[in-house]
Amino acid sequence: MRNTKIEVTHNKKMKPHYLGPLVVISRNHGSAYINCELDGSVLHRPIATFCLVPYFTREHITVPSDAFDINTSRLRELEQTELIDNNNTGNIASEEENYLSLSLSDLS
């Protein structure tokens, strides 16, 4: 995943330009990808397609479905959203409000 937070800093030469590796779990309606780290922890926001760099394995890797730290209802909720974690849009406040409304709807 491309690290877009460092693009606005002055000392970006020695900072990591990419984060990962990440495992793609699913894709939502906004064409963003729901990812998790190798330890199974799921990222709380979908990642925009242009931020991801594909990695093609030489051998097929089988991952058990219970390896991810997310329940199926939360995964379906993330798939139904059109939200994208895009640091270049500057529209983060409205996305956070949408996520808050999604998480509040889980409580009721």
pLDDT in tens, 78-89: 888 776 655 544
Cα 39 to Cα 45, 80, 83, 100, distances in angstroms:
17, 25, 24, 26
Q: Which residue, 19, 15, 77, 68, is CA-closest to 46?
A: 77
Confidence of residue 18 (pLDDT cuts 50, 70, 90): confident
Q: Which residue, 26, 24, 25, 29, is CA-closest to 80?
A: 29
Instruction: Give CA–CA dist 70/52, Å, rounded.
Output: 21
pTM of the model: 0.59
- What total of structural domains would you count in the chain? 1
Helix, strand, coil distribution of the chain in percent, nearest 5: 35, 15, 50
Domain with 50 in it: 4-107
Mean pLDDT, the chain, whole residue set: 73
Does position 49 have pLDDT exceeding 60, yes or no? Answer: yes
Return the beta strands (E) in the chain as ranges. Answer: 23-27, 33-36
